[in-house]
Structure 1
Amino acid sequence: MPVGPLKFEIQKESTFGRATTVELPHNIIQTPVFMPVGTQGTLKGITTSQIQDLGPKIMLSNTFFLNLRPGTDVLDNFSGLHNFSGIRTNFLTDSGGFQMVSLLDLTEITEQGVEFTSPVDSKRLMLTPEESIRTQQSIGSDVMMALDDVVSAELDPVKDKARIEEATQRTTRWLDRCISAHTSQTQTLFGICQGHLDISPNGFRDQCIQVMHQRKDQMGGIAIGGLSGGETKSTFWRVVRHCCVNLPQDKPRYLMGVGYPLDVVVCAALGVDMFDCVYATRTGRFGTAFSYEGEVNLTREAFSSQKGTIVEGCACETCAKGVSRAYLNCLLKENEATGGVMVSIHNVHFLLQLMRDMRQAIIDGKSEEFVQSFVTKWCQGKIPEWVVEAMQSLGMKI
């Protein structure tokens, strides 16, 4: 049950976020950080050399899908995903638990684990905490996630209380099984804080937070799970803040499945260190690009003759080479895949740079000004009430 090689250090803490370093075998990560999602070991449509040019210090891949294809036999033959893919950055692997929600019609959840119907060949497969760890050890990810019992954020807290309680307690039991199954000296295990949306004193989140404190010496970091699944934004930010305030302060905090630029900046200000989401590449493939003035739908006719890059001065491959908005509009309207790839590259770069800029603002003692400036520009004067409430909770008038 090794803790793993992760080394964590806090460089600077402020009221509006913290700057830390997370040292892992393949890179030193500076936080706040966005982790691009390569579900099957790569960013969809983006080549290995382009990934290297983007320079992410850590990427996310999915245990469930890598177990289906290429499978552990192939990964073992290559001694892990790094050699198999040729990508030399850190990898974090999801345990497969999220599929309990996203593929619920294909699953059956028991104390033993999660039984899936394979979307590849319709065979029944059992994912136990032990099997999840064994698979992640075959993948060779730098950070492995414990298998958790994930319930939808849309469950009714009264009517579905028994299921929420069961999932919270089972997540703890499965964490202990993951800790026992973890044998790799070169990989670090993160636990996941569940508990639905209950942040009442001694409620389900607090129960899980207490376990995270009790087990913290057996984990390298802690994720905040169970969000971005249909809850209101007002509830979302309150759960994030509650977890950041109450989880162990000497461990990196990872907010799972969050990658919308506004959400990332707000949650980094609330104290989150690490983020992941498919949104940057998924929305990019359909022609929506990130800019500091909000999202830009490049498929609109207004861009068909517009000069200039997506964001002037942006250092991403797409903008740095002078690719015009009009050219991207033409490619996207013709359903040419290259257009979506170029927008995806821009979006991933945008989020990586956004977090680098926020980190520097924290170090320089200018995090409040940074958050105010970004939120004001992004929202174009129409700041959502939940953002106002979240920042007011930190003492910021926005």
Structure 2
Amino acid sequence: MHAEGGPLFEFDIQGTEGAARAGRLTLPHGEVQTPVFMPVGTQATVKTLTPEEVDGLGAQIILGNTYHLYLRPGHEAVRQMGGLHRFQNWHRPILTDSGGFQVFSLSDINVIEEEGVTFQSHIDGSRHLFTPERVMGIERALGADIIMAFDQCPPGQSSRELATEAYQRTLRWLERCRKRFVELPDEDPDGPLQTLFPIVQGGVYPDLRKESARATLQAGDWHGIAIGGLSVGEPKPTMYAMIEALQPELPERLPRYLMGVGYPDDLLEAIGRGIDMFDCVAPTRNGRNGAVWIAGEGQVNIKQRRFFTDPGPLDPDCGCYTCRTYTRAYLRHLFVAGEGLSMRLLSIHNLHFLVGLANAAREHILAGDFTSWSRAWLERFHAGKAARDGRE
């Protein structure tokens, strides 16, 4: 499958409403209409779902994780099998992260040096080194349409000193990533067509965020830009403030990717501040733990007693397979009984919910009423949660 309708890696803005944008990103494996939520397929699978199911719920692009795929089955094995698209039978676009977040968050031991990060595998304790150059080679072997630069991702609400150190090292690593990214096609001329997105860091400090964005934009001619290091423990208003601080610094021509963000309220709040692309493990992780999103109720746990003999659909406003087919009572039974089917059905709903929310946001941006629609949607979502909390 090849993209049609425009030059590869180009981003066209098709409508705006306030800071919110509706766009089209053209990639080697197809077009992506934005705003877009990207399901996370950490280990070459969106957990518990088949690629056909992910496609059927409307996903346009999914993620793969460089850290996990490097450790298992190994990037060279994926390359030998034709890259991630063939390996997992997904024929739409794929984005791979650099593994930077996982190196810093999952490893019990990691040593950060200018050369790179030496880390201990969470699987078997073996030690490995990720450098910017090596990560570029791994991501080329995986073969995604969009690959991410290797960055230093500090913990949420890090000190100003650590946030400064991380964003400055991320910039130095970015230059090494860019150089290696440019070299690799000459060494591997039959390899995949890819574009490299840089990552803006800076913690919870607006001035550092702006400095990082300006220096990042000067470091290369990019086809998109990512915002990292948010949704890692800081209060939501702080995250929104960081996006607002960056918004005037980011060129309109580039798609903006807010990494690791995917709760419904965060999605709409960020779209209203000019973000185009999102990913998060929350839909499937929550589904595996019985937590679901319902438009008029907020986040709900399916094992609540009130669902014991509830004959209604999970979400009356949802048209996903789960909501069309099964009752709340049955879904509760499956989850309480420990049946694996419950994880699949709840994950299908949560993913459909977020993918559909991003699509609805796009429609309202194009219609010119996104601000009023999103405000009403958020009020209903939060009011439903508050009312339910008051009853329980």
Q: Please give the TM-score of this superposition, normalised by the length of structure 2.
A: 0.91
Of 326, 342, 356, the residue aligned with 1:339 is 342
Q: 1:16-55 to 2 correspondence within 5 Å?
A: 16-55=19-58
Preserved CA contact (<8 Å) 2:198 2:225: yes
**Offset, 1:16:** 4.6
Taking the aligned partners of 1:278 and 1:382, their CA distance within structure 2 comes to 21
The DSSP-based 3-state class of the residue aligned with 2:73 is coil
The separation in 2 between residues aligned to 1:379 and 1:314, in whole angstroms, is 18
Map of 1:177 onto structure 2: 176
Could you say which residue in structure 2 is the equivalent of 1:326? 329
1:204 matched to 2:221:
no
1:195, distance to aligned residue in structure 2 (A):
1.1
CA distance in 2, matches of 1:17, 1:261: 16
Distance in 2, matches of 1:122 and 1:325, equals 42
Q: Counterpart in 1 of 2:357?
A: 354
- Check whether the contact 2:17–2:369 (CA below 8 A) recurs between aligned residues: no
Matched, 1:188 2:187: no
Deviation at residue 71 of structure 1 after TM alignment: 0.5
Q: How does 1:249-328 map to 2 (within 5 A)?
A: 249-293=252-296, 294-320=298-324, 322-328=325-331
Give the Å deviation of 1:104: 4.9
Q: CA deviation at 1:213?
A: 2.3
> 2:67·2:103 contact (CA, 8 Å) conserved in 1?
no
Q: Deviations over 1:216-248 (max 9, x none)?
A: 51x221001111111122211100111122122
After superposing on structure 2, the runs of 4+ consecutive aligned residues of structure 1 that deviate more than 4 Å are none
Match of 2:246, SS state, is helix
The Cα shift of 1:308 comes to 1.5
Q: Distance in 2 between matches of 1:365 and 1:232?
A: 30
Instruction: Quote the offset at 1:14 in angstroms.
Output: 1.7
Maintained 8 Å contact 1:5/1:188: no
CA distance in 2: counterparts of 1:206 and 1:165, whole angstroms: 12
Aligned 8 A contact 2:106 2:122 in 1: no
Asked if the contact 1:5–1:186 (Cα under 8 Å) also holds between the matched residues in 2, the reply is no
Report the residue type matching 2:203 in the other structure. Answer: H
Q: Which amino acid aligns with 1:213?
A: L
Q: Is the 8 A contact 1:331 1:339 kept in 2?
A: yes
Judged with a 3 Å threshold, the aligned counterparts in structure 2 of structure 1 residues 313 and 94 are, in CA distance, closer, same or farther, namely: same
Q: Is the 8 A contact 1:100 1:150 kept in 2?
A: no
Q: Which residue of 2 aligns with 1:165?
A: 164
CA distance in 1: counterparts of 2:198 and 2:48, whole angstroms: 31
1:379 aligns with 2:382: yes
Cα contact 2:107–2:122 (8 A) shared by 1: no
Q: What SS does the aligned partner of 1:98 have?
A: helix
Per-residue displacement from partner, 1:142-171 (whole Å, max 9, x unpaired)? 1000000111123233xxx1x322211111
Using the aligned pairs only, state the percent identity: 40
CA distance in 2, matches of 1:15, 1:286: 37
Most deviating of 362-371 and 148-157: 148-157
Q: Are 1:59 and 2:62 matched, yes or no?
A: yes
Question: Does residue 74 of structure 1 match 2:77?
Answer: yes
- How far, CA to CA, are the matches of 1:152 and 1:70 in structure 2? 28
Describe the superposition over 1:63-100 as per-residue Cα deviations: whole angstroms up to 9, x where unpaired.
00000111122112112011111111211111011024
1:178 maps to amino acid: C
CA contact (8 A) 2:268 2:374 kept: yes
Instruction: Figure out how many residues of one structure are paired with residues of the other and give that number.
Output: 371
Give the equivalent residue in structure 2 for 1:131.
Answer: 134
Report the AA paired with residue 177 of structure 2. C
Query: 2:233 corresponds to which residue?
Result: 230
Q: Report how far residue 262 of structure 1 moved.
A: 0.5
* One-letter amino acid of the counterpart of residue 155, structure 2: S
Matched residues in 1 for 2:291 and 2:48: separation?
16
Structure-2 change in CA distance of 1:206 and 1:349 (3 Å): same
Q: Which range is displaced more, 303-312 or 356-365? A: 303-312
CA contact (8 A) 1:16 1:362 kept: no
- RMSD of aligned alpha carbons: 1.6
Which residue of the partner structure matches residue 213 of structure 1? 217
SS at match of 1:245: helix
CA contact (8 A) 1:16 1:368 kept: no
Provide the secondary structure at the position in 1 that maps to 2:254: coil
Structure 2: state its 5+ residue gaps. Answer: 1-6, 186-191, 387-392
d(CA) in 1 for partners of 2:54 and 2:353?
A: 14
One-letter amino acid of the counterpart of residue 121, structure 2: S
Unaligned runs of 5+ residues in structure 1 are 384-398
CA distance in 2, matches of 1:48, 1:198: 39
Distance 1:379 1:291 in 2: 11
Amino acid at match of 2:169: R
8 Å Cα contact 1:91/1:142 also seen in 2: yes
Give deviations 1:190-225, integer Å, cap 9, x for gaps: 0000011111xxx321221111221351x2210011
How far has the Cα of 1:55 moved from its partner?
3.0
